[in-house]
Amino acid sequence: MVYNIFKKHKLNSQHAKISAEALINAELVGAHGHGLSRLKMYCERIKKRLINPKPNIKIKKISSSISHVDADNSIGFVAADISIKTAIKNAKKTGIGLVATKNSNHYGLSGYYAEKAVKKNLVVMIFTNAPPAVAPFGAIKSLFGTNPICFGTPTNYKAPFILDTSISKINRGKIRFAEINNKKLPKGVALDKFGKPTTDAKKALKGVQLPIGDFRGSGLAWMVDILSGVLTGANHGGKVKDPFDDFTGPQNVGHLFFVFKPNLFVKDYNDRIKKNVKLIKKLPKIKNIKEILYPGENKFKRFKINSKKKIKIPKNILKSIKELTFD
């Protein structure tokens, strides 16, 4: 159904398949704020010609290891898919693959693309910027996005190590999901437009999200804005447009993909990483903790479980999907 909706909105078969698979994956790993709840938004932006359904994506080869992708305002899933595959290809040839991407859009979960590299036995780091949501430390105006930081590595265990985290205490997608489903936010994650703490999702979206670690989180957001915005040629400094609320033009999101072989410096990386994980898992545990999990392990388990059952879709989101199918 999702594939057909994207096809109906003029994406070709390959691009519709890439986009549908990314959205369904988000649902299967339990990241509902990045899943089907965003489908209507993508389609609206395509209708308003703010996402180009027929992009002429250009890959500029800078060296055997480095490439620059101009996504031509394509849907973010496609831009990211091409970019990570280019980075993987470069890394397999030379040991290192570095790809900068401009003129893209929101691409969903960074960890989804990191996993593609890890499956090829590569280590990966991914950065992408986002619309203003977090105020720089000391300011009262939102400027940085929730700007996720992502790192992935093979582990020699069943699940890959995938750390995919926004620099805010809660990601934007969860706030959007809470707003759509009339749910309260946890305390201490957001302020309203007057700078007062709020658990109201609507007020939080108009206010400020709080960064992890105070000035440290703000600094990390700034770092990601530089790496994925300033460096790539994409929008930065608060100029990335909100895909839900700002229809004045394309987002021009930037991404940076850094992929490399794990055996660049040591020949026994796979043994060393397995030993590293094993050592940490054997540490004494605090009360009520049965197992120490590494990043990505929980999502891997959720994916395995959810892949065997039907996806539960909230009524309001199901309604919007049906509207997109039959309008």
CA distance linking residue 254 with residue 68, whole number of Å: 11
Is pLDDT at 144 greater than 90 in this prediction?
Answer: yes
Note the pLDDT of residue 171: 80
Which is more confidently placed, 267 or 205?
A: 267
204 within 8 A of 224, measured Cβ to Cβ: no
260 within 8 A of 97, measured Cβ to Cβ: yes
Whole-model pTM: value is: 0.91
49 within 8 A of 75, measured Cβ to Cβ: no
Note the pLDDT of residue 155: 95
- Indicate whether 222 belongs to any domain: no
Note the pLDDT of residue 116: 98
Question: Coil, strand, or helix at residue 271?
Answer: helix
CA distance linking residue 105 with residue 272, whole number of Å: 37
Work out the pLDDT band at 163, boundaries 50, 70, 90: very high
- Indicate whether 189 belongs to any domain: yes
Q: How many CB atoms lie within 10 A of CB 83?
A: 27
- Indicate whether 311 belongs to any domain: no
CA distance linking residue 97 with residue 190, whole number of Å: 37
Segment 15-29, tens digit of pLDDT: 999 999 999 999 999
- Indicate whether 111 belongs to any domain: no
Buried b (16+ CB within 10 A) or exposed e, 45-76: bbeeebbbbebebeeeeeeebbbbbbbbbbbb
Residue of 318, 12, 9 lying closest to 181 (CA atoms): 318
- Indicate whether 151 belongs to any domain: no
Note the pLDDT of residue 159: 94
Domain span holding position 187 = 171-210
Count how many domains the chain has.
1
Q: Report the DSSP pairing between strands 149-153 and 161-165.
A: antiparallel
- Indicate whether 301 belongs to any domain: no
- Collect all residues with Cβ–Cβ distance below 8 Å to 212 and sequence separation of at least 6: 165, 167, 168, 169, 220
- Indicate whether 57 belongs to any domain: no
Which CATH number fits the domain that encloses residue 190? Answer: 3.30.60.50
Segment 101-114, tens digit of pLDDT: 999 999 999 999 99
- Indicate whether 199 belongs to any domain: yes
